[in-house]
């Protein structure tokens, strides 16, 4: 357990219960509860009803966190996802406006996303020595560039037939479909990363790529699959974005890659690879969502909200190190 999350504060073996409480995920759960208590006291309108109503626009970004977690565990990064979302959304709107059935629209969005992801994957696996940050920076510009050209003057498109997208944004009682989907995909992603051979290999690559390669892991095949899936999920995110705005424009998905990375890193997934798990990412994602909804309901200046999240993020990255330092000093003192 301790090794897997990589965020355990104490390396001395303890009982499983203690281990859970003192793991990073345990701290996140406590933080999640604290944030909710804070928000409920801070905003008189903060309750389950308003939270469920406001959640969907944020949930679309949590989709992106899932494959992003895999990429971070690989020790890599993909900053083109916001642009893939933009291009997928644009294409989905265009296909929708031709009068195609909604299933075709869904397929179009997923296909465009997958294709973009495959472009990243192809370049990164063909030219292994290229840094993912630079390659995906280039494709970030390229994908959004294509979307801007397609959108042309005015830079926005709206869907004329909103029926399918309205259905997608629907609810069971008060619970939006997207919440179920996030949780289902989250569980699948967590199980594959944490319990399956594929996931173990991802950790192996992230910990030591060369060692993983020499132990017979198809490093490039796994990287190809993950980057391509990142694209597919971006297409899914695009579909749900359209279901809230019934359109796409040149700013759609702007900055989503950083939000996804922030959620993952806050959740204890190390950007240097090999550490962290999906559960942490999911809890941290919901902490951020609750915080944004709660603070937003008191009309706090949006930049102040981002600032608070930034401080939390630095704290999250720094805390395990600080605790380790303190422990080291305590040991030395003994």
Instruction: For another protein, give the closer residue by CB, 70 or 165.
Output: 165
Which region holds residue 211: left if phi is over 0, alpha if psi is between -120 and 50, else beta?
alpha
251 belongs to the binding site for another protein (CB under 8 A)? yes
234 belongs to the binding site for another protein (CB under 8 A)? no
293 belongs to the binding site for another protein (CB under 8 A)? yes
Instruction: For another protein, give the closer residue by CB, 228 or 252.
Output: 252
Site residues for another protein, window 31-50 (CB under 8 A)?
A: 41, 44-45, 50
Q: Where are the beta strands (DSSP E) in the chain?
A: 156-158, 171-172, 175-176, 247-249
Cβ neighbour number for residue 185 with a 10 Å cutoff: 18
**In contact, 96 and 159? CB cutoff 8 Å:** yes
Residue found under tokens 């679309």: 60
Residue 303 CB, nearest approach to another protein (Å): 7
For residue 96 the two structure tokens come to 């929708």
Exactly one of 296, 313, 319, 323 binds another protein (CB under 8 A); which one?
296
163 belongs to the binding site for another protein (CB under 8 A)? no
Would you give the DSSP letter of residue 96?
Answer: H
Please count the residues of this chain forming the interface with another protein, following the rule CB under 8 A: 35
Site residues for another protein, window 167-186 (CB under 8 A)?
A: 169
Phi, psi (rounded to 5 degrees) for 218: -75, 80
Distance of CA 30 to the CA centre of its chain: 21
For residue 169 the two structure tokens come to 């944004």
252 belongs to the binding site for another protein (CB under 8 A)? yes
Residues in contact with another protein, shown as a per-residue x/- string from 120 to 159 under the rule CB under 8 A = ---------------------------------xx-x-x-
Distance of CA 210 to the CA centre of its chain: 27
Q: Where are the beta strands (DSSP E) in 40-184?
A: 156-158, 171-172, 175-176
Distance of CA 208 to the CA centre of its chain: 24
Site residues for another protein, window 299-328 (CB under 8 A)?
A: 299, 301-303, 305-306
Residue 160 CB, nearest approach to another protein (Å): 10
- Binding region for another protein (CB under 8 A): 41, 44-45, 50, 53-54, 57-58, 153-154, 156, 158, 162, 166, 169, 241, 244-247, 249, 251-252, 254-255, 292-293, 296-297, 299, 301-303, 305-306
């Amino acid at each position: 357990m301790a090794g897997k999350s990589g965020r355990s504060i104490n390396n001395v073996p303890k009982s499983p219960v203690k281990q859970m409480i003192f793991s990073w995920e345990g701290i996140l759960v406590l933080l999640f509860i604290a944030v909710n208590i804070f928000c409920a006291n801070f905003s008189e309108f903060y309750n389950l009803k308003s939270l469920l109503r406001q959640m969907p626009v944020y949930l679309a970004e949590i989709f992106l966190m899932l494959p992003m977690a895999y990429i971070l565990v690989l020790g890599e990064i993909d900053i083109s996802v916001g642009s893939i979302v933009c291009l997928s959304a644009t294409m989905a709107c265009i296909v929708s406006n031709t009068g195609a059935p909604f299933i075709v629209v869904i397929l179009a969005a997923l296909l465009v996303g997958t294709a973009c992801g495959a472009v990243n994957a192809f370049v990164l696996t063909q030219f292994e020595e290229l840094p993912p940050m630079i390659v995906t920076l280039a494709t970030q510009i390229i994908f959004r560039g294509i979307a801007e050209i397609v959108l042309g003057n005015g830079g926005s498109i709206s869907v004329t037939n909103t029926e399918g997208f309205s259905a997608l944004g629907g609810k069971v009682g008060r619970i939006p479909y997207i919440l179920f989907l996030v949780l289902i995909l989250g569980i699948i992603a967590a199980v594959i990363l944490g319990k399956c051979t594929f996931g173990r290999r991802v950790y192996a690559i992230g910990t030591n790529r060369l060692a993983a390669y020499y132990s017979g892991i198809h490093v490039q095949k796994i990287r190809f699959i993950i980057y391509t899936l990142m694209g597919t999920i971006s297409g899914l995110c695009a579909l749900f974005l359209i279901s809230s705005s019934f359109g796409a424009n040149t700013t759609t998905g702007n900055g989503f890659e950083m939000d996804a990375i922030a959620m993952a890193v806050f959740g204890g997934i190390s950007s240097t690879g090999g550490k962290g798990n999906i559960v942490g990412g999911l809890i941290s994602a919901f902490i951020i969502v609750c915080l944004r909804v709660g603070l937003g309901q008191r009309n706090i200046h949006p930049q102040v909200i981002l600032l608070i999240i930034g401080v939390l993020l630095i704290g999250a990255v720094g805390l395990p190190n600080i605790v380790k330092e303190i422990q080291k000093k305590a040991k030395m003192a003994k």
